[in-house]
A = this chain, B = another copy of it.
Amino acid sequence: MERPVARSSPAAGDPAAERRPRGRPRKTLHDRDDGNRRQEVLRAAARLFRRKGFHATSTRDIAAAAGMRSGSPFYHFKSKGALLYAVMEEGMRSAILRQQAALADAPAVPQERLRLLVRNHFDILLGPGSDFIPVMLYESRSITARQRTLLAQLQGDYEAPWLPVLDGLHAAGRLRADVKLARLLIFGALNWSAQWYDRRKGASLDELTGAALQLFIGDCP
Contacts and interface: CB of A to CB of B under 8 A. Distances in A.
Contact of A207 (B56, B181, B192): B181
A189 B211 CA distance: 14
Interface string A187-215: 11111110110000001000110111011
22 contacts: A52-B141, A53-B55, A53-B142, A175-B215, A176-B215, A176-B218, A176-B219, A176-B220, A177-B214, A178-B214, A181-B203, A181-B211, A181-B212, A182-B215, A184-B196, A185-B189, A185-B193, A185-B212, A186-B189, A187-B192, A188-B189, A188-B195
Interface in A32-72: 51-56
Interface in A144-193: 175-178, 181-182, 184-193
A100 B83 CA distance: 46
Contacts of A142: 53, 56
A185 B141 contact: no
A74 interface: no
A179 to B, nearest CB: 10
For this chain, the copies found in one complex come to: 2
B55 A185 contact: no
B220 A177 contact: no
Contact of A208 (B51, B181, B203): B181
Contacts of A54: 55
A221 interface: yes
A151 B130 CA distance: 27
Given A192-B184, A192-B187, A177 B55 contact: no
B193 A188 contact: yes
Ordered nearest first, which 8 A-B pairs have the shortest CB separation? A188-B192, A220-B220, A55-B55, A181-B211, A177-B214, A189-B189, A185-B189, A176-B214
